[in-house]
Structure 1
Amino acid sequence: MTASSPSVLPIDPAILAQIAHGEHGDPHAVLGPHPHDGGVTVRVLKPLAKSVTVRYRLPAPTRKNPDGWAAVDLAHEHEGVWAGVLPVADVPAYRLEVAYEGSEPMERDDPYRFLPTLGEVDLHLIGEGRHEQLWTVLGAHVHRYDGLGVAPDVTGTAFAVWAPRARAVRLKADFNSWDGREHPMRQLGSSGIWELFVPGVGSGTTYKYVILGADGVWREKADPMAAWAEVPPQTASRVFDSAYEWGDDEWMAARASRGQVDAPMSIYEMHLASWRRDRSYAQLADELVPYLSDLGFTHVELMPVMQHPFGGSWGYHVTGYYAPDSRFGDPDGLRLLIDRLHQAGIGVILDWVPGHFATDPWALVQFDGAPLYEDPNPQRGWHKEWGSHIFDFGRREVRNFLYGNALYWLEEFHADGLRVDGVASMLYLDYAREPGEWTPNIHGGHENLEAVQFLQELNATAYKRVPGISMIAEESTAWPGVTQPTSAGGLGFGFKWNMGWMHDTLQYLQRDPIHRAYHHGEMTFSLVYAWSENYVLPLSHDEVVHGKGSLLRKMPGDRWRQLATLRAYYAFMWAHPGKQMLFMGSEFGQEAEWAESRELDWWLLDHPEHRGLRDALRDINARYRESPAIWRSDADPGSFAWVEADDAAGNVFAFVRRSGDDEILSATNFAAMPHHGYRLGFPGDGEWEECLNTDAEAYGGSGVGNLGAVTAVAGEHKGWPAHAEVVLPPLSTVWFRRKR
């Protein structure tokens, strides 16, 4: 180099040492191109390289370089840092040619010559905790830079992670042989966001972040915002660039314009891994869609499909909130499953767990060396009952992470709703805590005010951005206003699980019919509060595990009585105010208690009596969907009236559901003997069709019934203007509809 040649931009050796050791918060300030002294200094971090050359674009071709490109060899400067000067005034397009011992030189782009992929608005919204599409800027995203005609286009992946207390962050991946030294990330101002664009990296790449915490310890972490992950027990994140083209436009347009409380909703809850074993998302789409279509469910609720390392947690101990479970395939596989369900007219509700998260050290726990996602107060940050960490609901960035995650599933995966797990555990500071293990809030109460704010923010934002969806709370206490709008001080959910109904009815039915007379009120009490919230009646997975036995085995008597009781129970449940949910296997009388490690007892369908239960439920769903009397006015107490609520000795429950001119009278006999000539009040005289009878022979019943119809005659009976003498078969529910 001549005396007149531009010189290398000098850098303090201590700073070069920080770069080499991955401890510099802004490596782009040192690495990459930097104009200096009439030239452009290029520094490159390649610790194991034998030589590094920069090939750069000249302002114009020369006789020596007719193709318009020239080259400069870099000199090793300090512990893997290479430096040299390009004799041009402005930063040109350039590429690196790197050679390692025993291999030919490889040409690649320099990550440190690219601008950040997050803008100022993104950083501002993240700082405010109000970035409603957080997943579009954090995580890993395939990105393309235009070469503008002077250089080839560059495609790579932009990585960005929130780690505000980190002293440094490196990117460790398959593209750098899992050696993070080559890819230190830069911190974007005071935002706490660390970012790096890596050229040549695409979908399928596996990676982790290596984070130097404030405590001086390096930790390897999966990406909290990763869209995909390795199959457990492997723990790395994966880049994913979706290419899925949706086919559910008709469904989505209709969903946005309809309500949910005044629509039919019967939900099939399922655990993907144990419905049938060893199925992919695509295989489930082929098998599940026709199965649910035949049964007539309006919705399916999937137990958590977010990435979780331990299958025995059923998905409730999440490590990857933005990544669908990779055990079943890639994220577009889940999109396919949801799309196919939508095209068949079936809505999809995803079970979602914002109350607590898994303890795995490679995931969210002490992410940047100290509590970040978890509440730092041990009285609020640890869930004794579930052995997991509780989110810091008082931190706006954490709330943003969570409600952004809800929007992610609703928008990116077209989910029709979220069932929010463990709401009660979020609402109360003393949940599962003894006196002395919790501290009252600023008003002296036991309410977690920050969690309340989060839930209100979550629901208001979700309903604003995604019309037509349903937010469903698993809330087991008497917290007021769970389904009241946030504008009225409520939590803003669309529905709440009615745990009291589930507990009372199962307690009643587990008794022998001869003893049920003394517990009649357990079946009628739910109507005292049925309109205090918008309810879902849940018979969930929680009722068929941990020694509780299957629904079938809860029922007393021989197999005939067990199946008959379930048929009657389901029809009673479907006619009751509220929406319905049934856990998989219960539709055909699963005998064994549910276990996530094996599939359902499908062999039971080889037995006519179990096929009969399934067929009965199919017909219950069909009659339900064609009967707006049952579902259209669910939120209106006027849609329900008791016909017979006090016949404890006969184990009889009868009521009318109505909406407009549609009326259904449901009569249930939970006694083991038929009632002949049983006088029931009717809303009007004339012929009433027996549109459903769970004791029909086709279902495995005894075939006792009303020959298809009854005729009600004028004459008051228990406050009703007409009455009829009917037959109530044993352990059965009968629905009557006025003939039109």
Structure 2
Amino acid sequence: MYSKDGMEIAASDKDLLPHQEHLTYRYCQFQETKERIETAEGSLANFAKGYERMGFVREKGCLVYREWAPGASAAQLIGDFNGWSGSWMEKDQWGTWSISLPDDGAGNCAIPHASRVKIRLQHSGGWWVDRVPAWIKWATVEPGQMGAKYDGRFWNPPPGDRHQWQHQRPARPASLRIYEAHVGMSSEKQEVATYQYFTDNVLPRVAKLGYNAVQLMAVQEHSYYASFGYHVTSPFAVSSRSGTPEQLKALVDEAHRLGIQVLLDVVHSHISSNVDDGLAGFDFGQGEESNYFLQGERGYHQQWDSRLYNYRNWEVLRYLLSNIRWWLDEYQFDGFRFDGVTSMLYWHHGINTAFSGDYKEYFSTAANTDAITYLMLANDLVHSLLPSAVTIAEDVSGMPALCRPVQEGGVGFDYRLAMGLPDQWINLLKNVRDEHWNMSDLVWLLCNRRYTEGTVAYVESHDQSLVGDQTSAWRLMGAEMYTGMSVLQAPSPVIQRGMALHKVIRGLTMALGGEAWLGFMGNEFGHPEWIDFPRDGNQWSYQYCRRQWSLADTEHLRYQYLQAWDTALQHLDADYSFLASSHQNVLFQGKDEEQVIVAERGPLVWVFNFSPVKTFEGYKVAVPEPGRYRVILDSDDKCFDGDGRVGHDTDHFSNPETSTGDQEASFCGRSQSIQVLSPPRTVVVYGLFPSDASGPAHNLKPAVEQEESEGVQLP
């Protein structure tokens, strides 16, 4: 049940109390909107079945096509089925045009499967325009004609050609480890990869790496390939460049067989301004109540050159919420990453806005409560339809309560992306030599998050790999990646440094940066090149729109070691669930100049040494429990291209701190400590083992019980 005023959220953050009026207002707007929907449609879930009535639907021996376009003066359905001559449609009082096409005498649908279709609309000024149907499930362009105009396709395969689901959705994992992927650029060849290719070649890699979720980008149809999928034209259609709807379903089904959740990168923050190929073509003026979009300057995003939805409009809510349910029901997706949430939360869209953390920046007239209401409805819908679903917000502003349940007055997301982390890593790699990195600043960066709200940590995503930017591996090693990655030659100082820091940076960020982890396709092995999609500016080249998997699979190249390290991190979490643990404690045992961080995350003790030169022998490390500790994971291991300086079979027995008088002595807040070897630019992970345990350390689970959170001790 919902709270009376949605202010239970204040229990998790007392700083929200001064903004109770604002929070109550937006929560009431959510409740009132939902109640109106329930009164009119029976339930929010029924309201979100718009695709069962709108677009092309089969009804009692005929095909019915409906389209909401209240600003149009007349409408015709055109396509291959009628020689593009036009079949007249009728308009109801709500502005919805419709036409019924009876089956033929043999019971065949009036429009053959995969036929091209469009709607021809008359503007109030008298002229006619042809548009791709708003609810179309597939849209195509002529093969080899990138940049040409799209046609809608009536998708209605015969029963024998429809995908038959074989596998149940996997349970929601305790620790979410996300592999961000773009199907089209997943091939090593200079081509657009298919859903089938991704299913056969990439999904097995994802499973072997140890990720338990794959986040698919650029699935919603977008006419401009170089937009990376963010200028969507047909929200209900799968990108036809990579195949058919049934092939995408097969991809999701196979992922489920492998125990992998599949998240969709959904774009509801804006829509492509392309009127010929997409939803933007349904803007006929006539005011905001007769449009999908806000009008005038409010309806246009200056930086993105795109149109902005009118989230207050009844039919817009039906369209977007139905879009969410469509992907859940028809394609069996397990959740969503909502793109551009910052742009939705504020009328200024975050443009030229530096968020300082002052709560007044979040709860003011700048907040777009219409968009926030939509996001609350969307999260409420997703989690009621599929309790195991995951929703992630791409938000850079840090709005409080974004990731608290709707029932408490939050916006309802499960996680937010830690978007500040990659930006700060880029800043350090570009501007500060690692011998000058400040450990206190690093810990503050990684731990400065809202612990009552889930956070997805990452070093880099697709954003840090796009043309004009550089991946972390490239910033560390540069052009030497082309000449110095062979194991048949001694690594140069640049390669040595880059390999070591790539491992330590990812280890530190995963250990301390959030409650979930994300990596972008190929970056786990240090893919050396940026991403540049085919476009006019590069003569439509695919050279940089691919992933060179062979680099990681070639035995004489060092890329394999970075991939092995990332795999080890994913399996470490699979075994010890440190991401899901509420216990995180950072210990500053020595001076900052040592460049050493000791941390407890979950049942593990992590020792990070960022020093380029200093080896610490017999380094004293505080531990949470007495007993015998052994190495669980070690970035200096030779299997990760290290020097193998740390003894994995060495027992580190804890020593009690001496007591003075009646006071229990402690070292960094702990009554026990061990002594370890910490080589330069390494991370070594220790676990507590039973006294009678034997065998390889990595096959044993620690005996320590997971503690409740004690908070994070910041410098």
Q: 1:575 to 1:191 in 2, by over 3 A?
A: same
Give 2:607's aligned residue. 667
8 A Cα contact 2:294 2:309, kept in partner: no
Distance, in Å, in 2 between the alignment partners of 1:302 and 1:567 is 25
Please show how residues 462-541 of structure 1 align to structure 2 within 5 Å: 462-510=382-430, 511-517=432-438, 520-538=440-458, 539-541=460-462
* Matched length: 586
Confirm or deny that 1:227 pairs with 2:169.
no
Deviates more, 1:697-706 or 1:187-196: 187-196
Partner amino acid, structure 2, of 1:671: S
Mapped contact 1:212–1:368 kept (Cα < 8 A): no
Q: Do residues 212 (structure 1) and 122 (structure 2) align?
A: yes
The verdict on how the C-alpha distance between 1:129 and 1:692 changes in structure 2, with shifts beyond 3 A counting, is closer
Q: Which has the higher strand share?
A: 1
Return the alpha-carbon distance in structure 1 between the equivalents of residues 75 and 592 of structure 2.
69
1:545 to 2:466 alignment: yes
- Amino acid aligned to 2:476: M
Partner of 1:303: 217
**Deviation by residue 1:566-623 (Cα, 9 ceiling, x = unmatched):** 1112222222242110111111111112223321233422243110110111111111
In structure 1, C-alpha distance between the alignment counterparts of 2:73 and 2:41, rounded to whole Å: 23
Distance 1:418 1:477 in 2: 19
Partner deviation per Cα, 1:628-652 (whole Å, 9 max, x = no partner): 2x0333xx3xx11123376421221
Q: Any residues of structure 2 matched to 1:246-285 within 5 Å, and which?
A: 246-250=164-168, 252=169, 254-255=170-171, 258=172, 263-276=174-187, 277-285=191-199
1:137 aligned to which of 50, 53, 63: 53
Residue 91 of structure 2 aligns with which residue? 187
Letter in structure 2 aligned against 1:186: E
> Which residue is equivalent to 2:619?
678
Structure 1: any 5+ residue segments left out of the alignment? Answer: 1-120, 146-155
How do 1:589-738 residues align onto structure 2 when only pairs under 5 Å count?
Answer: 589-596=526-533, 597=542, 598-605=545-552, 606=554, 607-628=556-577, 630-633=578-581, 636=582, 639-644=583-588, 647-658=591-602, 663-673=603-613, 674-709=615-650, 710-715=652-657, 716-738=666-688
8 Å contact from structure 2 (residues 167, 256) kept in 1: no
What SS class does the counterpart of residue 316 from structure 1 fall into? coil
- Secondary structure of the residue aligned to 1:720 is coil
The secondary structure found in structure 1 opposite 2:523 is coil
CA apart distance, 1:361: 1.6
Change (3 A) 1:129 1:678: closer
Structure 1 residue 525: deviation in Å? 3.4
Q: CA RMSD in A?
A: 2.7
Q: Runs of 5+ in structure 2 lacking a partner? A: 1-36, 104-109, 354-359, 478-492, 534-541, 658-665, 691-715
1:353, distance to aligned residue in structure 2 (A): 0.8
Q: Secondary structure at the match of 2:562?
A: helix
Counting aligned pairs with the same residue, the percent is 24
Which residue pairs with 1:739 in the alignment?
689
Bigger CA drift: 226-235 or 460-469?
226-235
In the alignment, which residue of structure 2 is the partner of 1:114? Answer: none
Change (3 A) 1:144 1:467: same
Higher RCO (C-alpha under 8 Å, 6+ residues apart): 2
* 1:550 CA displacement: 1.4
Matching residue of 1:73: none
**Do residues 238 (structure 1) and 157 (structure 2) align?**
no
The whole-number CA distance in structure 2 between the counterparts of 1:129 and 1:735 is 47
Whether the aligned pair in 1 keeps the contact of 2:139 and 2:151 (CA below 8 Å) is yes
Within 2, Cα distance between the matches of 1:178 and 1:125? Answer: 36
Which of 322, 325, 330 is 1:412 aligned to? 330
Secondary structure at the residue paired with 1:608?
coil
Alpha-carbon distance, 1:138 to partner: 1.1
Q: Cα deviation per residue 1:474-529 (whole Å; 9 max; x = unaligned)?
A: 01013111001122221111111111233334434553222113x64133333243
With over 3 angstroms needed to count, the CA separation of the structure-2 counterparts of 1:122 and 1:241, relative to structure 1, is: farther
Structure 1 residues 68-115: Cα deviation after superposition (integer angstroms, max 9, x where no partner): xxxxxxxxxxxxxxxxxxxxxxxxxxxxxxxxxxxxxxxxxxxxxxxx
Amino acid in structure 2 at the alignment position of 1:421: D
Does the 8 A contact of 1:126 with 1:397 survive in 2?
Answer: no
* Counterpart pick for 2:504 among 568, 574, 580: 568
Closer, same or farther: CA 405–373 of 1 in aligned 2, 3 Å: farther
Measured in 2, the distance between the counterparts of 1:139 and 1:344 equals 34
* Counterpart mapping for 1:411-430 below 5 A: 411-430=329-348
CA contact (8 A) 2:72 2:122 kept: yes
Q: Which has the larger radius of gyration?
A: 1
Q: Check the 8 A contact 1:568/1:733 in 2, yes or no.
A: yes
Q: Alignment partner for residue 160 of structure 1, among 66, 84, 90?
A: 66
What letter is aligned with 2:621?
L
Structure 2 contact 45–385 (Cα < 8 Å) conserved: no
Aligned partner of residue 425 in structure 1, secondary structure: helix
Q: CA deviation at 1:128?
A: 10
Please say if residues 270 and 301 of structure 1, whose CA atoms lie closer than 8 Å, have aligned partners that are also in contact.
yes
Say which SS state the counterpart of residue 343 (structure 2) adopts.
helix
Post-superposition offset of 1:130 = 6.6
CA distance in 1, matches of 2:446, 2:569: 21
Amino acid corresponding to residue 526 of structure 2 in structure 1: G
- Whole-Å Cα distance in 2 between the matches of residues 480 and 331 of structure 1? 38
Rounded Cα–Cα distance in structure 1 between residues aligned with 2:352 and 2:563: 45
What is the CA–CA distance in structure 2 between the aligned matches of 1:132 and 1:304, rounded to whole Å?
A: 23
